[in-house]
Every structure is written in C-alpha cells, then in structure tokens.
Amino acid sequence: MGFLVIRVIWYCPTKLRGTRNPKHGTRDMYEDKELQEYRDLLKTPDHFEEGFDWKTIVGSIFIGFLMMPGSMYLQLVIGTGIGPAARWVTIILFAELAKRSYTELKQQEIFLLYYMAGAALATPFQGLLWNQYLVQSDAARMLGLVEFIPTWVAPAPDSSSLVERTFFHRDWLIPILLLIGTQIIQRIDQFGLGYVFYRITSDVEKLPFPMAPVAALGTMALAESTEDKTKSWKWRIFSIGGVIGLAFGGIYVLLPTVSGLFLMEPIRLIPIPWVELTGYTEELLPAVATGIQLDLGLVFIGMVLPFWAVIGGLIGLIITIVANPFLYHHGILNRWHLGMGSVDTVFANNFDFYLSFGIGLGLAIALIGIWHVIRSFGKSSAGQRGSFKDLFRPPPGRGDFNFWIAVGIYVFSTISYVLLCVWLVPNFPWQFFLAYGFIYTPIVSYITARMEGIAGQFVSLPLVREASFIAGAKYFGYQGIEIWYAPIPIHNYGEATVKFREIELTGTSIRGIIKSEIVVFPVVMTASLLFSQFIWRLAPIPSSAYPFAQELWHLQALNSLLMQTSTLEGNSLFYQALNWIYVLAGMGLGVVTYAILMILGLPILLVYGMVRGLGQSTPHGLILEVVGALLGRFFFLKRYGTMWRQYAPVLLAGFSCGMGLTGMFAMGVTLILKSLGRLAY
C-alpha cells in the first residue's frame, strides 16, 4: 500500500522470548536470542581512519557513470535496480587494481567505497522521469488533476519539452534548480538531527543497535578480498550467486532487450513483470488479484528476510484471498467487476476497503513501537549508561564535530525547508511547516532512534503528513495540490543513527564521510541528469521498452493522485475512500493480534508480515519469497547451521551483481545501437 510506510529490518528476530532482568524480576522487553548474538558480533574499535583518498574519488566517478545507468535502466524494465551489486562490483574492481599495484585497500577505504556506492545510486533526476509521466498520465486526466499540478514539478502537458522528450529546455529550468537545491539541503541535513540522536542514544544511553554490526560485518568481509584470500568462502558463495544471476539475467533481461532491437516484438521467455492470472480465477475468486512473478531474485530475498515476517506476509495474503470474495458478495468491494486485471483490481480494492484498513494497521504498528520505547526507559542500569557530558567528550579520533554544530545544521535545514515551502505554497498555513520541523520531526525521530537502538526496527506514524494537509484544507481554507509536492520538513532521522553506528564500528572517521559526500554530490547530479535524459530519449517512459513502468506506474499514479484530491474543493475521491470504521477495525486487529502473539510467546514479526500481506500491494512476488524462506529455514539452515546467516546475504549480493551486470550490458547494447540510428541529443 502506497500510503503505509512500514519497514521490516533484514535479520530481525526469528523467535521472540521474554527475558527476565535479575534486578527487577520482571520482563524488561521482548528480546530475541539471535538479537543478543548480533549485539556481540563487533566491539567498538579504538582506532579510526578517514579512508578518503584518490581511490574513493575514482570510485565515485566509476559508480556514477557506469553503475548508475544500469541501475536506472533495470528499475524501469524489471522494477529493481542493481542494489548491492554496485557496491560489490566497485570494491572487487578496486581490490584487483590494488593487488596489481602491489598495494591494498584499507578497511576504511572499503567502507567509503561501499558508502559512496549507495549514495551514488540515489539517482535524484529519475524522479523527473516520474513527474513527466504524472503530468501526462491517464490517471491525472481521469481524476481531473492535470491543471492543478504545478509547473515547478513538471511542465504543462502542452510543453514542447514533453513532445521532444528532453530536460534541456527552459520549461524544466525551475524543476531542475529546485531539485538541486533540495538535494544540497538534504546532503547537509543528514549531519544534523540524525547525528544528534546518534550521540544521545549511542554515547549517552549506550543502546546496543543490534542491526548495525550486521552491515558493518558485510564491509569487513569485503575487506578480506583485498588480501590474498581467494579461497575464502565469501568468494565461493559470491561467485555461485553471480553465475546464477548472470544466467538468469541473460534470459530475464538481456534476451528481451536485445531481441527488441531487431524484432517487432521482443522475445520474453519469462513474462515481465508477472504472469497475469486474474482473468482465469475471477469466477472462483472475485476481487482477488492473482498471478505469479517469476523473478528468481525473490527466492534469494526470501532467504535473507526474517522467516516469520515472510510467513506473516503469506498469512496476510491467505486472509486476503479468503476475505475479498466475502467482502465482494457483501457489497464492500463494490467497484470491482469481471474483466479487471491485477492493477485495476488492487486499486479498486484499495479504494473500497484496504486504504482505510491499512491506515488502521499502520497506526497499530506505530502504537506498538511507541509502547516499546516507553517501556524501555529506565531499564538500563546506571553502570551501563553514560552521562550527558559524553555529548561533549566523544571518543578521540572518531572524527566527531561539535554537538552544537549538529543542532545548528538541523535548525538551518529546517528553516530552509520552511522558507521553500512558504515560497512554493504561499496559501498553506505556515504554522504547519514549523510544527512539522520543530515538533513532530524531533519526537518521531527520537522514538525511532530508540527503537532502532533497542530492537533494530523502524517506527513510522502513517498519514500524519496527509492528515495535516487535509486539516489545512478543511479548517484554513487551503485549496490545491501544490502542497503534496512541496519539500515539507517532515523527516524521520532515527534511521540515520544506525548509519553513524555502522561508521563507528568499521573504524571510519566521520570526517572521511563528510569529504566523500562533497565529492560524490556533483558526480551524482551530473550523471543522473545525463542518463535520465538519455534513457528518456530512447523511448517514451512508460512504454513497451520499459515493461515494469508500463505495468505498474499507472497503479502508483492512481494511488498517489487519489490522496491528492483530498485538498481540492468539492466531493473528494479520497473522502469517499476513507472510512473510519475500517480504520478502527484495522487498528483493533493489529493491537489484538500483537497482544495475543506476545501472550503466547509467538514471533511478533508475524504482525509486521501480516500488515504487508494485507497491504493490497501487488502480491504476485510473495510466492517465490515464501519458497526462498522455506528453503533457507528448513534446508540450508539445517545443512550449514548458523553460518547460513552469513552465506545468504553474500549469495544475494552475488546474484544481484550478476543481474546488474546483465542489465548494464543490455543497456550498453541498446544505447550503442540506437545511437547509431540517430543522435541521442
């Protein structure tokens, strides 16, 4: 569901047990046996290095101009980018170059390459590809919103730039400048409140951050590759995954791409994005979107994801399959009719029921997270905690900057966002912007920082942003949809605390991270603009050349634009879709299910998985995820023991690398052959 933001962390608990504190004699909080193991995986180092040198500069250029286009292309074709593959390929290449230069990459250099690869694949200008589609979309015309989309988001539909498919046009000047400005603020902003809460939760409260060692160990494993350890198990597992990814990518991505260059219709041995079965099951299962997504990568993802979260998703899907025909026959899912495909079925069901029900489930998850945080206060013994003096006495060599500078960055970035919003949306009450930045954001960020520090889980309150927009329209007279596109200062910096903890555990100085951000930013912006332009010129987006975008973007546009109608005058479609009875039902189900699971000592991650399964997003990929989860749990885990936890992510990274390489090769062939036919610019 597009409006429900719930993240389930990889490597989360597989079985939760209540632990007793010998001092208090009561259950402090539900902890996981494996979670405790993760906490002890790494100790904080006492030596830090920046790791920033010419290798990281060359690495940023390599990622931006070689990895980024392949990732963008795969996003449009199959819906997933290169992901971890970009990091692996970059580090493997530089490790081999280092060996042949009779040198080696330090662990800190490895981490900086790893960090910069993630930052470089953000592709900010790819958002403009979405904006150009949105302003021309059937969904916008159907809902009557075309004239309301502001020109600082995308030019009007009659602009010649849309006909010529080019960003190098004066009509795109303001959207591009606005995007660059907000990106600059974001790059600065990450060293603000996120760093403040990192210092508080890690240095003062000494929270364990159980998931941080997992990511840090991944980069440390990569550091082994710079040594002469080619027989390491990591290389064997990675190579196996890479070969599988190359073979599958050749059939799934390369064959249809290359054949489409020479034939009227591309050859697709495996349908993209899925095999559509709704038309065959609609008599037996009315209002149920059926099909299967035959992406082998989903099996590997299922092996890595928390087992009970995947099973919870399966339970949620089964409940949906059983409930939808019942809801249809009782007139609740009344917009569905025979002949609808998966996309239209999902949207109709969201409109009638699952939008409201999902909001309730999201509120339940948020309440559970807040309750965990409240219970956690005061549980740490005095000997384990630091003092507030530690805010001003960080460990030597870690590269920390003054605590008050971080506070100043937060204030500066928030005020910048507020001023931008006041300029872009002058009719919306400015008091809301201040409340977003200086009241809501600090509260939810601290709650999330503690939840990440305690249990490695993310807390998000659903529809706070949307509800405030609706309140502004209802009580303050605002009308329009510009507010939905404005860079409002609602952020959750809690997740950033984990990243700072990862940086610390790898022995990397924060100063090296700051330098890498300065270098990678211009590379990312330049490469993202050039390759967005190039891909758009190859074919309209979406079109048959980009099957995932052609199939899914319509649903995503319908979902996002439906919400935006809530701030327009008249009988908004959003108000028609919102039903508070269904909201309360979803919230009640979430809270009651959580309480039952906790009392019975069952895995609480079932709740998170059920939310995902009941979310009414396209469910076709869940089947192969379940297959992967079952294989991992009952075959590989029994065969390889606890080492399987380390094997699985490396295997997935290798597969992603193989898929990414085929995507890059496919795009390279496409660019070369189409460029021969006509100039790209």
pLDDT digits (tens, 9 = 90+) for 46-60: 788 888 888 778 877
What's residue 28's pLDDT?
A: 40
What's residue 126's pLDDT?
A: 79
> Coil, strand, or helix at residue 476?
coil
Token pair in block for residue 486: 């404005």
What's residue 423's pLDDT?
A: 94
Higher model confidence: residue 351 or residue 180? 180
Phi, psi dihedral angles at 263 (to 5 degrees): -110, 160
CB 11 within 8 A of CB 211: yes
Of 228-237, 365-374, 584-593, the poorest mean pLDDT is in 228-237
Of 101-115, 155-169, 503-517, 626-640, the poorest mean pLDDT is in 101-115
Of 6-10, 293-297, 341-345, 591-595, the poorest mean pLDDT is in 6-10
What's residue 460's pLDDT?
A: 67
Q: Rounded mean pLDDT of 603-627?
A: 74
What's residue 616's pLDDT?
A: 53
Residue 680 has pLDDT above 50, yes or no: no
pLDDT band at residue 630 using 50, 70 and 90 as cut-offs: very high
What's residue 224's pLDDT?
A: 59
What's residue 642's pLDDT?
A: 80
Residue 22 has pLDDT above 60, yes or no: no
What's residue 86's pLDDT?
A: 65
pLDDT band at residue 409 using 50, 70 and 90 as cut-offs: very high
Higher model confidence: residue 644 or residue 230? 644
CB 108 within 8 A of CB 51: yes
Residue 459 has pLDDT above 70, yes or no: no
Residue 490 has pLDDT above 70, yes or no: yes
pLDDT band at residue 469 using 50, 70 and 90 as cut-offs: confident
What's residue 531's pLDDT?
A: 87
What's residue 238's pLDDT?
A: 77
Q: Rounded mean pLDDT of 196-216?
A: 77
What's residue 628's pLDDT?
A: 93
Residue 248 has pLDDT above 90, yes or no: yes
Residue 29 has pLDDT above 60, yes or no: no
pLDDT band at residue 520 using 50, 70 and 90 as cut-offs: confident
Tell me the one-letter amino acid at 431. Q
d(CA 191, CA 400): 11
pLDDT band at residue 143 using 50, 70 and 90 as cut-offs: confident
Residue 172 has pLDDT above 90, yes or no: yes
pLDDT band at residue 574 using 50, 70 and 90 as cut-offs: low
| Spatial CA neighbour of 192 closest among 492, 478, 576 | 492
Q: Rounded mean pLDDT of 554-562?
A: 84
What's residue 177's pLDDT?
A: 93
| Average pLDDT, rounded, for the chain | 79
pLDDT band at residue 573 using 50, 70 and 90 as cut-offs: low
Q: What percentage of the chain reaches a pLDDT higher than 90?
A: 12
Q: Rounded mean pLDDT of 71-100?
A: 72
What's residue 381's pLDDT?
A: 41
CB 372 within 8 A of CB 449: no
List, in sequence order, the alpha helices (H) in 396-484: 403-424, 430-435, 441-455, 464-475
> Which whole-number Å values give the CA distances from 482 to 127, 309, 447, 553, in the listed order?
16, 37, 30, 21
Q: Rounded mean pLDDT of 74-90?
A: 69
Residue 23 has pLDDT above 90, yes or no: no
d(CA 433, CA 414): 9
Of 4-13, 348-357, 483-492, 627-636, the poorest mean pLDDT is in 4-13
d(CA 459, CA 195): 18
Tell me the one-letter amino acid at 454. I
Q: Which residues pair with 370 in a beta bridge?
A: none
Q: Rounded mean pLDDT of 228-256?
A: 80
Q: Which distant-in-sequence residues (6+ apart) come within 8 Å of 38 by Cβ?
A: 11, 210, 211, 213, 214, 456
Q: Rounded mean pLDDT of 460-465?
A: 69
Q: Which distant-in-sequence residues (6+ apart) come within 8 Å of 417 by Cβ?
A: 185, 433, 437, 487, 488, 489
Tell me the one-letter amino acid at 680. A
Token pair in block for residue 169: 């046009």
What's residue 422's pLDDT?
A: 93
Highest mean pLDDT out of 342-356, 405-419, 432-446: 405-419
Phi, psi dihedral angles at 276 (to 5 degrees): -80, 120
Residue 228 has pLDDT above 70, yes or no: no
Residue 190 has pLDDT above 70, yes or no: yes
What's residue 415's pLDDT?
A: 95
Q: Rounded mean pLDDT of 21-40?
A: 44
Highest mean pLDDT out of 165-179, 545-559, 653-667: 165-179
Digit-coded pLDDT (tens) for 282-315 = 889 998 888 888 889 889 888 877 788 788 888 8
pLDDT band at residue 517 using 50, 70 and 90 as cut-offs: confident
> Which whole-number Å values give the CA distances from 547 to 2, 52, 271, 456, 531, in the listed order?
20, 40, 10, 35, 19
Residue 615 has pLDDT above 60, yes or no: no
**What pTM was estimated for this model as a whole?**
0.72
Gyration radius from the chain CA atoms: 25
Higher model confidence: residue 362 or residue 348? 348
What's residue 34's pLDDT?
A: 45
Q: Give the distance between the most distant pair of CA atoms in the chain.
A: 76
What's residue 416's pLDDT?
A: 93
Residue 127 has pLDDT above 80, yes or no: yes
What's residue 341's pLDDT?
A: 85
In the block, which residue shows the tokens 């036919």? 677
Higher model confidence: residue 233 or residue 183? 183
